[in-house]
Amino acid sequence: MRFDDLKLTRQFLNAIEDAGYENATPIQQKAIPPLRAGQDVIGIAQTGTGKTAAFLLPLLQTLKYAQGEAPRGLVLAPTKELVVQIHQEALKFASYTDLRIVAFYGGVGPKKQIEEIADGVDLIVSTPGRFLEIYSRGHVETKKLKHIVLDEADRMMDMGFMPQIRQIQEVIPTKRQNILFSATFPPRVERLAEEFLLWPTRIEVTPESTPVSTVTQYKLSLPNLRTKIAFIEWYVREQLGDDRLLIFTRRKEEAENLFKFLDRSFDKGVRAVHSNKGQNARINAMQDFRTGAVQILIATDVASRGIDVPETQWVINASVPRDPHDYIHRIGRTGRAFREGSALTLVDPAEKFALERIESLTGESLLDFPAVPELETFETPRREKQNQAREIDRELKKRDPNYQGAFHEKKRKSGKRSRRK
């Protein structure tokens, strides 16, 4: 279906054409008509399916043109990176209008953001906390808000934003259009939808928690972090070529260590984004990755939902996420806009349980990575080995409350030997 068939006005069709889009994706085909009609909508769609345009286009068309000083639309998203991405998309689609669109997010002082709305604003894209901060200072009038979007609702709940969302609900008009988009729809998000939406139209374009079909998924077992780094170094040197690579780690320390190794070894352009990086550094790194100035981007899950680079051919999970839904979001950074992509998950002995949860959620086993090199296998450091043992014990104890644990047993024997001495 072409965008012309969705009854969008010429100014938005021109912007869509400028962006290089021709045909609407399934989520856009299903969501745009009820959203244009003013209905409350629940959209369940994976990242990379065009869901941002699915809610932005009808919202912008409803707002039509600049009007008054108070905002009429509010889009809430969980991370600064995602706010920036949505804001950029909104500006692109509204390029033939005079709509005033601003972004609120933390990491920088609110002064400049407050100045941007001084002469009026039509649409605000914001993280929940920064919106409340600027509202509490008396700079945002909420009486005219008629359209509210919660994007990445599942992630918003994972990150503990429910209190802020409820606070925002209390200060906006009850008569409004509510829109909720989520990649997954677990019970906690369903409860939020019941609380937040009124007789919503539910739209689901893919089975819940199904990975993007254009992504080929692989796994590779390795004993420890140092061996994982050696594999990634081999892969970048021998296999990557000119492809763009996104690497995910669970902890910022892992991201920084990996960055140091790769930055020292290659001249391909490497950046890392995590919570210790300043906001400007993170935005610049994302932009450089988007333009191709940086070929390898290393990120923690904090950034995983704010990266929209269709040219990303490979995702490597240097550590396995504990929450299998995070896996879906990570690998959704490749195979976007219906291009082919690949994802490889590196698994140490303690992470095999997390891998089992991923395969259970997706309903399929990951493929064994075919091109395994003759790698030097590094000995697992004592502390890392202990951490792996603790993690294994925790997992086994979840399955059997009576399980005492190998790590527990080692400590007990070690204590006995010490007493004998």
Question: Is 42 in contact with 178 (CB distance < 8 Å)?
Answer: no
Rounded Cα gap, residues 376 and 380, in angstroms: 12
Q: What percent of the chain has pLDDT over 90?
A: 48
Closest by alpha carbon to 121, among 93, 145, 86?
145
pLDDT at 402: 76
pLDDT at 39: 95
Which has the higher per-residue pLDDT, 340 or 209?
340
Q: Return the pLDDT at 134.
A: 96
Q: Does 132 have pLDDT greater than 80? A: yes
CA–centroid distance for 33 within its chain: 26
- Of residues 140 and 323, more confidently modeled: 140
50/418: higher pLDDT:
50
Residue 126 confidence (pLDDT): 96
Predicted confidence (pLDDT) at residue 20 exceeds the cutoff of 90: no
- Dump the DSSP string for 117-171: TTT--SEEEE-HHHHHHHHHTT----TT--EEEE-SHHHHHHTT-HHHHHHHHHH
Tokens of 356: 């089992």
Exposure of 115 by Cβ count < 10 A (0-12 exposed, 13-18 middle, 19+ buried)? exposed
Same fold, 3-204 and 215-368: yes
> 304-339 pLDDT, tens per residue?
556 767 778 899 999 998 888 788 878 877 766 567
Give the fold, CATH level 3, of 215-368: Rossmann fold (3.40.50)
Residue 15 has, within 13 A of its CA and on its CB side, a CA count of 19
Report DSSP state, residue 242. Answer: T
pLDDT score at 17: 92
| Model pLDDT, residue 406 | 62
- Tell me the pLDDT tens digit for each residue of 23-32: 898 899 999 9
Q: Which fold has domain 3-204?
A: Rossmann fold (3.40.50)
Q: How confident is the model at residue 211 (pLDDT cuts 50, 70, 90)?
A: low
Q: Which of 101-105, 214-218, 228-232, 304-308 has the highest mean pLDDT?
A: 101-105
pTM of the model: 0.64
- Domain spans, the chain: 3-204, 215-368, 382-420
